[in-house]
Amino acid sequence: DTEVTQTPKHLVMGMTNKKSLKCEQHMGHRAMYWYKQKAKKPPELMFVYSYEKLSINESVPSRFSPECPNSSLLNLHLHALQPEDSALYLCASSQPGTGADYGYTFGSGTRLTVV
């Protein structure tokens, strides 16, 4: 299995809703990432988990809450989002460590719309 699977593919939520994005990989990767991508822009790093521990938080607002329950799963919990948070949310995985990113793989993304 060489894929990163993200669910759901599309999500529409209100500003008062609570929802979660899920990401799963079975490649044995121990680093997992969340990115946010706006239209016609490159992906922006949000969070990095290394060995199931949060290692990087790129000053993301607290309405985004990541969780890594085990080495294969990564969640992004959403609460009280704003319309400007509408974007494509990408999950990725790789091996951690310097220069060990040859297997860096992206999921297909979740298209999030906040209304």
Partner 1 sequence: KNQVEQSPQSLIILEGKNCTLQCNYTVSPFSNLRWYKQDTGRGPVSLTIMTFSENTKSNRRYTATLDADTKQSSLHITASQLSDSASYICVVSALVAGNMLTFGGGTRLMVKP
Nearest by Cα to 33 from 9, 19, 8, 50: 50
Q: Which is nearer to partner 1, 80 or 86 (CB)?
A: 86
Q: Which is nearer to partner 1, 16 or 53 (CB)?
A: 53
For residue 63, the minimal CB distance to partner 1 (Å) is 23
Say if CB 80 and CB 39 are below 8 A apart.
Answer: no
Q: How far is CA 82 from CA 5, 79, 85, 97, in A?
A: 25, 9, 5, 35
Which of 26, 41, 63, 77 is close enough to bind partner 1 by CB under 8 A? 41
Told to check if 46 binds partner 1 by CB under 8 A, we report no
Which of 14, 15, 18, 55 is close enough to bind partner 1 by CB under 8 A? 55
Binding site for partner 1 (CB under 8 A): 4, 6, 31, 40-43, 45, 48, 50, 55-56, 88, 90, 94, 96-102, 104-109, 111
